[in-house]
Amino acid sequence: MRYVSTRGAAPALDFRDVTLAGLASDGGLYLPERWPSLTREQIAGFANLSYVDTAVAVMTPFVGDALTPDELKDLCTRAYGRFSHAAVTPLVQLDHDQWLLELFHGPTLAFKDVALQLLGLLFERFLNGSDRHLTVVGATSGDTGSAAIDALAGRAGVDVFMLHPAGRVSDVQRRQMTTVLAPNVHNIAIDGDFDTAQALVKQMFNDPGFSGTFALSAVNSINWARLMAQVVYYFYAAVRLGAPERSVAFSVPTGNFGDVFAGYVAAQMGLPVAKLIVATNVNDILHRAISAGDYSKGIVQQTPTPSMDIQVSSNFERLLFDLGARDGAALSAQMQGFESSGAMRLTNAQHTGAALFASDRVDLDDMTLAMRWAHEHAGQVIDPHTAIALAAARRHPSDVPVVTLATAHPAKFRDAVERATGQRPTLPGRIGDLFEREERFATLPGTFDAVTAYIAERAVPKP
């Protein structure tokens, strides 16, 4: 399998190189040159497979010959062996039509572990025997950071520099990052919001001086391997609810558009997906884009769902490319217009082509009501991000099962959960002593010069 950039000018790469590269050299994001397709019989056969075997079956076409089937299975077994639930991503029924897909049983209690546990092992495997030292640069609004740090702490050949917006993540989220004291982990709190952090990371890749000096790589969902691993749980859930005979809808709490784009990929591969509901908080750029074709930035507002306090959604570019006849030059011009003005209209083809998606904007009151409903009617204490998607799911009548992606453990957002339900979740044993651990992080202005100077002093240059 070869991978092409959404902006059309970077070289096509194989799976190994696309994993190590992260972002394309023309500023675009990599995508498979075509979507692999699975037959109905193959999909039906997944109903009897474990999570690991489903992962191997779904990911094999993307991995190509970069790994043997045995190697891929070994990596998946190790990655998902660290999850605390035997099903890895179990389904929980809420009522007749509504289901939760619990994605938070990994080491850092959010869906990011599903992809990042595997990505850490892929880096290790692909760096084995090479003298390349990776400088991983990442931006987090709370969850990617701890999942990447858990996956990479102490690994040879990799340093990770993780930028989070100071004061805009929950205390549990911050401590999950800053209490990891491994020498290859560097946490940086920046003055600014998540969009500032994400823009700095992209600027590092696009700066010839910086990216020429360090072998940069990405752990955000701009890295294709992240999305590939997330496609798996759409198949895993849908076949348990009757696919391919029956279609299934998914409601996804959305920020950077990675998780829901993985659902789109599953649909392109042949999974009968009835609808993908893009659920946003009041930072609703994606809701406006999908419902009205208006992709224009607002000011990032702080909410009790900090991981979704995002206005520039990196992976939306992948969808626009796929729906725009994969014309890299046209998309490049469209994205450059957005980058300079902060606004763009979707073309007719992009807007009408996105018919698989519905969208919804959920405010604080409706988020709170969804948390209460889950608690009172189904005995489930859910986190606020999950509640955004559950509220949206309940507002979209459906004649097929609707699966809400439960993206984080409620203990990561104890104050918000307690305010809504009166229940204060306890920290799971894995992080029971989190508030007694020592923290270490730097605080820097959110500027390219300040952050790159800090990294340059600590990172290992290319030979």
Ligand X SMILES: Cc1ncc(COP(=O)(O)O)c(C=O)c1O
- Binding residues vs ligand LJ64HWYM (CB under 6 A): 140-145, 220-221, 255-256, 258, 307, 314
- Residues with Cβ within 8 Å of residue 460, at least 6 apart in sequence: 133, 135, 159, 214
Nearer to ligand X by C-beta: 318 or 385? 385
User: d(Cα 294, Cα 283) in Å, to the nearest integer?
Assistant: 14
User: d(Cα 89, Cα 235) in Å, to the nearest integer?
Assistant: 11
Shortest Å, Cβ 314 to ligand LJ64HWYM: 6
Check if the beta carbon of residue 190 is closer than 8 Å to that of residue 201.
no
| Residue 89 token pair | 């991503």
- Site residues for ligand X, 254-273, by CB under 6 A, read 254-259
Using the 8-state DSSP alphabet, how is residue 311 labeled? S
User: d(Cα 5, Cα 282) in Å, to the nearest integer?
Assistant: 31
140 binds, options ligand LJ64HWYM, ligand X, none, Cβ within 5 to 8 A by partner type: ligand LJ64HWYM
Shortest Å, Cβ 263 to ligand LJ64HWYM: 14
Nearer to ligand LJ64HWYM by C-beta: 143 or 159? 143
Segment interacting with ligand X (CB under 6 A) among 17-25, 190-198, 248-256, 449-457:
248-256
Check if the beta carbon of residue 52 is closer than 8 Å to that of residue 80.
yes
Check if the beta carbon of residue 140 is closer than 8 Å to that of residue 40.
no
**Total binding residues toward ligand X, as defined by CB under 6 A:** 16
- Which helix H or strand E contains 397, and what residues bound it? none
User: d(Cα 289, Cα 320) in Å, to the nearest integer?
Assistant: 11
Shortest Å, Cβ 45 to ligand LJ64HWYM: 30
257 binds, options ligand X, ligand LJ64HWYM, none, Cβ within 5 to 8 A by partner type: ligand X
254 binds, options ligand LJ64HWYM, ligand X, none, Cβ within 5 to 8 A by partner type: ligand X
220 binds, options ligand LJ64HWYM, ligand X, none, Cβ within 5 to 8 A by partner type: ligand LJ64HWYM
Of 247, 398, 407, 452, the one binding ligand X by CB under 6 A: 407
407 binds, options ligand X, ligand LJ64HWYM, none, Cβ within 5 to 8 A by partner type: ligand X
Nearer to ligand X by C-beta: 28 or 258? 258
Nearer to ligand X by C-beta: 239 or 319? 319
C-alpha torsion 455→460→462→463, nearest 10: 150
Nearer to ligand LJ64HWYM by C-beta: 144 or 380? 144
Nearer to ligand LJ64HWYM by C-beta: 144 or 404? 144
Closest CA to 150 of 117, 187, 188: 117
Any contact of residue 253 with ligand X (CB under 6 A)?
yes
Query: Active-site residue among 112, 202, 275, 412?
Result: 112
User: d(Cα 144, Cα 408) in Å, to the nearest integer?
Assistant: 11
Segment interacting with ligand X (CB under 6 A) among 76-84, 205-213, 251-259, 296-304:
251-259
Any contact of residue 106 with ligand X (CB under 6 A)?
no
| Residue 299 token pair | 């000011």
- Site residues for ligand X, 136-155, by CB under 6 A, read 142-143
| CA 116-121-127 angle, 5° bins | 125
User: d(Cα 428, Cα 406) in Å, to the nearest integer?
Assistant: 17
**Does residue 263 sit in helix, strand or coil?**
helix
Check if the beta carbon of residue 446 is closer than 8 Å to that of residue 197.
yes
| Residue 453 token pair | 């100077």
Any contact of residue 359 with ligand X (CB under 6 A)?
no
- Residues with Cβ within 8 Å of residue 226, at least 6 apart in sequence: 115, 116, 119, 219, 220, 258
Active site residue 73: no
Shortest Å, Cβ 246 to ligand X: 26
Tell me the sheet residues that pair with 4: 31
Shortest Å, Cβ 325 to ligand LJ64HWYM: 25
Nearer to ligand LJ64HWYM by C-beta: 308 or 331? 308
Of 221, 350, 368, 452, the one binding ligand X by CB under 6 A: 221
**Does residue 422 sit in helix, strand or coil?**
coil
Nearer to ligand X by C-beta: 255 or 324? 255
User: d(Cα 243, Cα 23) in Å, to the nearest integer?
Assistant: 34
408 binds, options ligand LJ64HWYM, ligand X, none, Cβ within 5 to 8 A by partner type: ligand X
**Does residue 156 sit in helix, strand or coil?**
coil
Shortest Å, Cβ 259 to ligand LJ64HWYM: 7
Tell me how far CA of residue 378 lies from CA of 94, 309, 370, 382, 407, in angstroms. Answer: 5, 28, 11, 11, 18
Any contact of residue 105 with ligand X (CB under 6 A)?
no
Check if the beta carbon of residue 346 is closer than 8 Å to that of residue 295.
yes
Provide the annotated active-site residues. 112
Q: Which positions touch ligand X (CB under 6 A)?
A: 110, 142-143, 221, 253-259, 307-308, 385, 407-408
